[in-house]
């Protein structure tokens, strides 16, 4: 485990923390959580962070104000962080303000004291970002600043250790609209006792499954997947510019920080990592019921992840060719995914 990060003065008016990871993971919020927890002396894999945070979900969102429909494969921004802190007994400190001046002062004080800070912001305004799409649920770890520049840890896809101007950071943090938060910053602290990961596994798996199988509205969870299967066939007529908009949807599904397969590969890897940590109360070498159920869920999510990747490819093809046939095929696959994921979560709810 790396030594704890400490504040290092890097020049006049500059503070940069050392000991940060060289790069991030596949998803922004888990990349940030991993960096903050490592600073606190806790090292967990990205799939484990995602799974213990009960991160897997589904949402189909469309409105007249949107240029394109939105498919999400995870819970709302910051909900994963709150879930993880609750499951592991972590000390989560959150600050929000409508004042840009106060927002900077809050994070500067933490950095000066040697603590990296998580920020929720709009990725559109960050200088280094490769996709100019507004997304106010993006999360990064702030680990340094100088008079003109801030130093961030983002996903591997976005460059890992990156920098942006302080002006661009201020704009990104002040963003309003869907999924935004008022200059939200947060830190994570480890509890006094060692983190008991094994004890948190079953409650996290069951909690995630119950939420997925009992959605409050028809565009969330298992019902949302079925809703998508019905709506996807109309996307050529729904968007203004199919050759641009449908490939954009596909890109966000597969390469927009999801780890591929709309986060399903990440959840599959979490379930795989859990298997040797399950205590089934059986003799050495015996396969208990919980192991069987998690194995079943793991295999089903592996299948659904691969199907979601195929769906993204079909959506992209439909846009580039302006042909509806790939969307009809995609709809059939999404109906199949709905059955697979319902079966997976039904098994996992019984763990």
Q: Give residue 104's pLDDT.
A: 98
Does 216 share its domain with 181?
Answer: no
Which of 310, 306, 311, 299 is closest to 344 using CA atoms?
A: 299
C-alpha span between 265 and 259 (Å, rounded): 7
Does 335 share its domain with 308?
Answer: yes
Q: What integer is the mean pLDDT of 268-287? A: 77
Helix, strand, coil fractions of the chain, as percent rounded to 5? 50, 15, 35
Does 23 share its domain with 127?
Answer: yes
Does 99 share its domain with 16?
Answer: yes
Q: Give residue 262's pLDDT.
A: 98
pLDDT score of 133 more than 90 = no
Q: How open is the CA angle 258-264-265, to the nearest 5 degrees?
A: 85
Q: Is residue 58 part of a domain?
A: no
Does 131 share its domain with 261?
Answer: no
Q: Is residue 25 part of a domain?
A: yes
Domain end position, chosen among 189, 221, 255 = 189
Q: What integer is the mean pLDDT of 202-221? A: 97
Q: Give residue 4's pLDDT.
A: 40
Q: Give residue 10's pLDDT.
A: 58
C-alpha span between 56 and 49 (Å, rounded): 11
Q: What integer is the mean pLDDT of 278-283? A: 64
Reported as a pLDDT band with limits 50, 70 and 90, residue 287 is: low
Q: Give residue 2's pLDDT.
A: 35
Distances (CA, A) of 258 to 25, 29, 137, 176, 254: 10, 11, 13, 23, 6
Q: Is residue 72 part of a domain?
A: no
Domain end position, chosen among 161, 189, 217 = 189
Q: Is residue 279 part of a domain?
A: yes
Q: pLDDT per residue over 37-92, tens digit each?
A: 998 889 999 999 999 999 999 999 998 888 899 999 999 999 999 999 999 999 99
Does 314 share its domain with 334?
Answer: yes
pLDDT score of 12 more than 50 = yes
C-alpha span between 14 and 24 (Å, rounded): 23
Does 27 share its domain with 158?
Answer: yes
pLDDT score of 274 more than 70 = yes
Domain end position, chosen among 164, 189, 214 = 189
- Which pair of tokens denotes residue 267? 């959840």
pLDDT score of 281 more than 80 = no
Reported as a pLDDT band with limits 50, 70 and 90, residue 286 is: very low
Q: How many other CB atoms sit within 10 Å of the CB of residue 261?
A: 25
C-alpha span between 286 and 273 (Å, rounded): 18
Q: Is residue 57 part of a domain?
A: no
Does 299 share its domain with 159?
Answer: no
Q: Give residue 284's pLDDT.
A: 47
The CATH number covering residue 149 comes to: 3.90.70
Does 160 share its domain with 205?
Answer: no
Structural domain total, the chain: 2
Q: What is the dihedral of CA 25, 27, 29, 35, to 10 degrees?
A: 0
Helices (H), 191-232: 197-213, 221-231
Distances (CA, A) of 186 to 9, 37, 93, 97, 171: 22, 12, 5, 12, 18
- Burial class of residue 272 (count of CB atoms within 10 Å of its CB; 0-12, 13-18, 19+): middle
Q: What integer is the mean pLDDT of 228-238? A: 97
Quickly list DSSP for 269-294: HHHHHHGGG---S--TT---HHHHHH
Q: Is residue 179 part of a domain?
A: yes
Residues 6+ apart with CB under 8 A from 137: 76, 77, 78, 120, 179, 180
Q: Give residue 65's pLDDT.
A: 84
Does 11 share its domain with 149?
Answer: yes
Q: Which domain holds residue 332?
A: 197-349
Q: How open is the CA angle 280-282-283, to the nearest 5 degrees?
A: 145
The CATH number covering residue 229 comes to: 1.20.120
User: What global pTM score does this model have?
Assistant: 0.93
pLDDT score of 283 more than 80 = no
Q: Is residue 114 part of a domain?
A: yes
Q: Give residue 280's pLDDT.
A: 65
Does 135 share its domain with 233?
Answer: no
Q: How many other CB atoms sit within 10 Å of the CB of residue 171?
A: 17
Identify whether the C-beta of residue 187 lies closer than 8 Å to the C-beta of residue 117: yes
Q: Is residue 70 part of a domain?
A: no
Mean pLDDT of the chain: 93
Does 258 share its domain with 235?
Answer: yes
Specify the range with the lowest mean pLDDT, choosing from 54-68, 111-125, 270-284, 329-343. 270-284
């Amino acid at each position: 485990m790396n030594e704890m990060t400490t504040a290092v003065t890097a020049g006049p008016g500059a503070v940069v923390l050392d000991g940060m990871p060289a790069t991030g993971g596949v998803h922004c919020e888990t990349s940030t959580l991993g960096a903050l927890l490592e600073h606190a002396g806790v090292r967990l894999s990205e799939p484990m962070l995602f799974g213990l945070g009960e991160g897997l979900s589904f949402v189909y969102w469309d409105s007249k104000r949107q240029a394109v429909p939105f498919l999400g494969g995870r819970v709302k921004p910051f909900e994963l962080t709150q879930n993880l802190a609750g499951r592991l007994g972590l000390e989560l400190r959150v600050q929000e303000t409508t004042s840009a001046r106060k927002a900077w002062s809050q994070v500067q004080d933490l950095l000066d004291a040697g603590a990296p800070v998580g920020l929720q912001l709009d990725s559109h305004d960050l200088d280094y970002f490769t996709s100019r799409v507004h997304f106010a649920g993006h999360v990064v770890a702030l680990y340094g600043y100088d008079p003109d520049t801030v130093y961030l840890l983002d996903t591997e896809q976005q460059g890992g250790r990156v920098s942006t101007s302080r002006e661009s950071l201020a704009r990104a943090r002040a963003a309003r609209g869907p999924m935004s938060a008022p200059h939200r910053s947060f830190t994570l602290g480890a509890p006094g006792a060692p983190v008991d990961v094994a004890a948190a596994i079953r409650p996290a798996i069951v909690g995630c499954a119950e939420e997925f199988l009992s959605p409050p509205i028809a565009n969330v969870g298992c019902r949302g997947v079925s809703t998508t299967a019905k709506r996807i066939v109309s996307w050529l007529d729904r968007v203004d510019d199919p050759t641009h908009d449908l490939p954009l949807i596909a890109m966000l599904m597969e390469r927009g920080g999801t780890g591929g397969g709309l986060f399903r590969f990440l959840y599959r890897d979490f379930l795989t990592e859990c298997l040797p940590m399950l205590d089934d109360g059986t003799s050495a070498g015996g396969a208990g019921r919980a192991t069987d159920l998690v194995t079943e869920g793991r295999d089903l999510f592996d299948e659904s992840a691969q199907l979601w990747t195929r769906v993204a490819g079909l959506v992209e093809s439909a846009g580039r060719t302006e042909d509806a046939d790939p969307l009809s095929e995609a709809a059939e696959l999404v109906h199949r995914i709905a059955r697979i994921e319902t079966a997976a979560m039904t098994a996992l709810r019984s763990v």
